[in-house]
Amino acid sequence: MDFIANLSAGFGVALTLVNLVYCFGGVLLGTLVGVLPGIGPVTTVAILLPFSFTLPPESALIMLAGIYYGAQYGGSTTAILVNIPGEASSVVTTIDGHKMALAGRAGPALGIAALGSFFAGCVATVLIVVAAPPLASIALNFGPAEYFSLMVCGLIAAIVLAHGSVVKALGMVVLGLLFGIVGTDINSGIRRFNFGFNGLADGIEFVALSMAIYGLADIAINLEKKEDEAQVEKRIGNVWPSWEDIKFCIPAILRGTGLGSILGVLPGGGALLAAFAAYTLEKKVAKKPRRFGHGDIRGVAAPESANNAGAQTSFIPMLTLGIPSNPTMAMMIGAMMIHGISPGPRVMTDRPGLFWGLIVSMWIGNLMLVILNLPLVGMWVKLLRIPYRMLFPSIVIFCCIGTYSVNGNLFDVYVMAFFAAFGYICVKLECEPAPLILGFVLGPMMEENLRRTLLISRGDFMVFLQEPISLAFLIASLGLLLVIALPAIRKTRDEAMQE
């Protein structure tokens, strides 16, 4: 009965006219940024964070969530038609999707991508509904020691799953932790790491950091790339796949949905890792003759199902534990905190309307996305003719206005400019920014829980090993460290990531 009552409350929140409008606006904007290469959901969420502060918390989170999973839909359109992945998780879709387009089967490829994404999104939302309450109940029994060990495990997992050098990922996490504790210490009142700047007394503004790393730095990188004019397919044909195509793809969609749902929960995993893993799995289990890489429709169905499932199950650790699994979830936690909502298991009991309204809005948003993506393919493709050099000035202006509007402080704009240069250097040095953002968000929470634990235990560090749940997370962290340390495993991991 509680389950039905909770869903009823969620529908009551999600089906209000205001929230329907913001849900539609979020998925529409998400599809748009998914179609346009070089922008992406992280940048868009960062730009809209200041605007979301003027909205009710429910509407703000519904809109930001719609942008995130909507971008997974939009990225497949250009990947199939013009061989340009609008979103990183759609890179693998180009392999077979564009070959299908060249063979005159762009319509079925687009259709199966939309249907697979819709099915995976709905199933992943059901998993959130089923898994969230018991996880939140368990998390309510967590003490500060358990939370600290969980965050340590999450950061180490993010390092293991990060792309490129492990040392660089570790360095970015440490930098994120250090940036997160800049400001006035709550207990002692001493200002830390502010280098004499009064503007850093309250710490580094999250909006300024996120806009700099994922907004301005990305602009600089994208402007360096040579713009090749995309040759858009004019004849797409019927976008509804045949029943034979659907039956042929059902196993691939099911496997992609299951794999993506699992990988989406992992820190640093999410949609990108899910898409590549699903494509690799399909190549392994496909019956001969294998046509992958030459226009096999399963090469579209599996990764598109996986990236949407992964995008939506990444909400599970964010909603139940207050732990972000990727940069977008970190920004949503930042939005919750600025709205005065403490992320974690108490959101379900303290703000049930927000919790269940957000989950139910995902069903509604997935339905909206199917309606948006199939009939409006032609309109999305026309947007590709807009040169990126005409888009970036407005993005810079929005970043500056948004950063200034949060606190009305010009110093935050200077902070954003500094971190934009810092982010650009990091990208040029092939240092992935995602671990830095995760470390920045988790740093203050880790410090707070560490202090609470040592205060309760009177300075005894053994308490982390005496609590069973804390010990389990630390053992898991040690296992992940072994994965990094063992040369053979590390070589295999590097080769897999490079592939």
Who's near 306: CB < 8 A, 6+ residues apart? 120, 256, 257, 259, 260, 263, 271, 274, 275, 277, 278, 279
Strand spans (E) along 193-234: none
Q: Would you say 263 and 310 are in contact if contact means Cβ atoms under 8 Å apart?
A: yes
Burial class (CB in 10 A: 0-12, 13-18, 19+), 147: buried
Distance between CA atoms of 279 and 350, rounded to whole angstroms? 40
Q: 269: which DSSP letter?
A: -
For residue 4, how many other CB atoms are within 10 A of its CB? 8
For residue 489, how many other CB atoms are within 10 A of its CB? 12
Distance between CA atoms of 157 and 14, rounded to whole angstroms? 33
Distance between CA atoms of 435 and 441, rounded to whole angstroms? 10
Q: Would you say 483 and 156 are in contact if contact means Cβ atoms under 8 Å apart?
A: no
pLDDT in tens, 333-380: 878 877 878 777 778 878 888 888 888 888 888 888 877 776 776 666
Tokens 């040592």 found at: 454
How confident is the model over 73-86, as a mean pLDDT? 70
Tokens 């200077």 found at: 414
Distance between CA atoms of 324 and 443, rounded to whole angstroms? 12
CA distances from 490 to 270, 475, 486 (A): 21, 19, 6
pLDDT of residue 229: 47
pLDDT in tens, 472-482: 888 888 887 77
Structure tokens at 38: 């070089």
Structure tokens at 338: 């600025």
Query: What string of DSSP letters covers 110-159?
Result: HHHHHHHHHHHHHHHHHHHHHHHHHHHHHHTT--HHHHHHHHHHHHHHHH
pLDDT in tens, 157-172: 777 766 667 788 888 8
Its sign, for the CA torsion 121, 16, 28, 107, is positive
Query: What string of DSSP letters covers 330-385?
Result: HHHHHHHHHTT---STHHHHH-HHHHHHHHHHHHHHHHHHHHHHTTTHHHHHHGGG
pLDDT of residue 487: 57
pLDDT > 70 in the chain, percent: 83
Phi/psi-derived region of residue 288, left when phi > 0, alpha when psi is between -120 and 50, beta in every other case: beta
pLDDT of residue 21: 92
pLDDT above 50 for 192: yes
Q: 185: which DSSP letter?
A: -
pLDDT in tens, 168-191: 888 888 898 889 888 887 777 788
Task: Please list the residues that pair with 184 across neighbouring strands.
Answer: 191
CA distances from 494 to 173, 464, 484 (A): 19, 32, 10
Rounded to the nearest integer, the mean pLDDT of the chain is 78
Least confident range from 127-141, 258-272, 307-321: namely 258-272
Q: Would you say 281 and 329 are in contact if contact means Cβ atoms under 8 Å apart?
A: no
Phi/psi-derived region of residue 191, left when phi > 0, alpha when psi is between -120 and 50, beta in every other case: beta
Three-state secondary structure call for residue 192: strand
Who's near 167: CB < 8 A, 6+ residues apart? none
Distance between CA atoms of 26 and 236, rounded to whole angstroms? 26
Nearest to 427 by CA among 120, 168, 188: 168
How confident is the model over 57-86, as a mean pLDDT? 78
pLDDT above 70 for 386: no
How confident is the model over 316-342, as a mean pLDDT? 79
- Does residue 305 or residue 499 have the better pLDDT? 305
pLDDT above 80 for 271: no
